[in-house]
Amino acid sequence: MKNRTYDRTKENFKYFILITIMPIIGVAVIFSYAFLHLQKDLKFIIDETGGLTTIKEIQNTIFNIQRLRGLASIQNLSEKSQEELKLTKEKISKNLILIRQNITTQNKSIPLKKELESFIDSVEKSSLEFKSFNYLYEIIEEFMSYSNRISYSCNLILDPELNSYVMIENVVYLLPQLIEYNGQIRAIATSTTDKQLTEYQKEYFVIQLNKIKEILKKLEFNLNMLYKTEQSIDLKETHLKMKEAQNSIIEFTQKNLLKANGILLEPNGIFELITKNINLIIALYDTNFLFLEKSLNNRLKETKILSVYVILAGLISTLFIVCVNGIFYIKNKKFIEEIQKLTITDSMTSLYNRRHFDEVFENNLKIQSRTKQPLTFVILDIDFFKLYNDTYGHQAGDFIIKTVAKNLKNSLKRAGDMAFRLGGEEFGILCIGINHTEALSFANTLKENIENEKIKHEKNSASKYLTISMGVIVIEPDTLYSTNEIYRCADEALYKAKENGRNQVVVYNNKTFT
């Protein structure tokens, strides 16, 4: 029976493992997918942030080259302009170093890195202040091209957030182009020596002004979209200042540079005037950049926190499944044990029943054969139980059955000893490891304990109290007996005890009774 109970427990545990692992696998799949998706988003944003930093340094380089282009176009530089030219050259050198450092730390697009590094080397070797307008224009265009390519390779152009996408377009495309068109006007205007522009230069200015107006429309649309979801006072203020500055440049170009009677301002004055307004446009660029950088950093932080929450949620869900299933398993195990107990025990006496006896008897023979120890089987019967029932009633009969059962349980001292109610007033005991003498002593002690209960039994011819008769058989190791044969021999010994006058123990020994 122990083996059967073990098998059932093992089977129940397998079911517990199954119903626990399956949901855990489901939870693991769901949360792993969510976590991997977040890690993908995290890498996406990290690439964006790295690319944005590189683009910022490239754009700062472009702004300084544009300034240098304007200063280099002036034929007679003032002392202030000469000092500014020197300072601008130093800034460009620092910008190029920072770009190189940034692209070295980036993991994206190795061919693009090599191209950009090679281009930076060529720029560092050239004396930019002595180069022509067209040469510097090509340098600026090349840097802008790298800025655009980096925005693709670092996923900036693929950003799914509308606000971020709008700001990226402003920072990577619109504002750099707007500043470049104004920078070209500045460079050409400061290159005049006789305060007169050629017709080609005037036509070029008109084209640039039209381009500026087109970009202003797109920029206005983008910023108005941004204002619907983001209330940034700094962005609005710099936007207003940018519009005023751009209008000043447009007005100055139309009323001073394009008029027929010549330019009133000296080249140094033109540079200062246009540069002052360009700086306000650059301020809008910087504000957009900071706003975008803050947005990406916030998303990066939120994604990291969400990743931690997903891990915690997965662990908590797994723990919850294990705990809930564990509770159900324990309760179910106890319930099954109770059911099993009910199926193998007698409800009145709590002794093992006949069904369990039949199962255990065979197992005990196997244990006896393996351990080489004697097996003792005791069968006992309440003397004149029917007469007791008829005389004192069924409730009294139930009471003496319970009393006998109690004494049987109290007599069992070892873990392997078992007592059974075989039916009606008949009981059985199985013990492994006691010899004939010990078995006889055990049986006599039990018999005396029953009689010492001093339960009155007027119809008992053997005693005035309740008594039992017992048949005992001890099976020695290596003795071949079947369960049916053992039971028959013990029953014969019991019959002999009754025949001899009851209230006694008879031991079956080699087909003799003692």
Active-site amino acid positions: 425
CA–CA distance from 200 to each of 165, 196, 206, 262, 472 (Å)? 38, 12, 10, 15, 132
Which candidate, 10, 7, 106, places its Cα nearest to that of 53? 106
Helix, strand, coil % in the chain, rounded to nearest 5: 75, 10, 20
> What 3-state DSSP class applies to 377?
strand
CA-nearest of 241, 238, 177 to 210 is: 177
Quote the CA–CA distance of 401 and 382 in Å, as a whole number.
8
Q: Report the C-alpha gap between 224 and 49 in whole angstroms.
A: 24
For the beta sheet containing 426-432, the strands, ordered from the edge strand earlier in sequence to the opposite edge, are 418-423, 426-432, 375-382, 468-475, 505-509, 512-513
Q: Is the dihedral of CA 471, 474, 480, 483 positive or negative?
A: positive
Measure the CA–CA gap between 67 and 271, rounded to whole angstroms: 9
Six-digit token pair at 195? 């305060």
* 379: β partners: 428, 471
Residue 239 CA to chain centroid, in angstroms?
A: 45
What single DSSP character describes residue 341?
A: H
Assign 455 to helix, strand or coil.
coil
Report the C-alpha gap between 117 and 483 in whole angstroms.
Answer: 95
* DSSP, res 456: B
Q: How far apart are CA 20 and CA 5, in angstroms?
A: 22
Whether residue 61 contacts residue 96, with contact meaning beta carbons closer than 8 Å, is answered with: yes
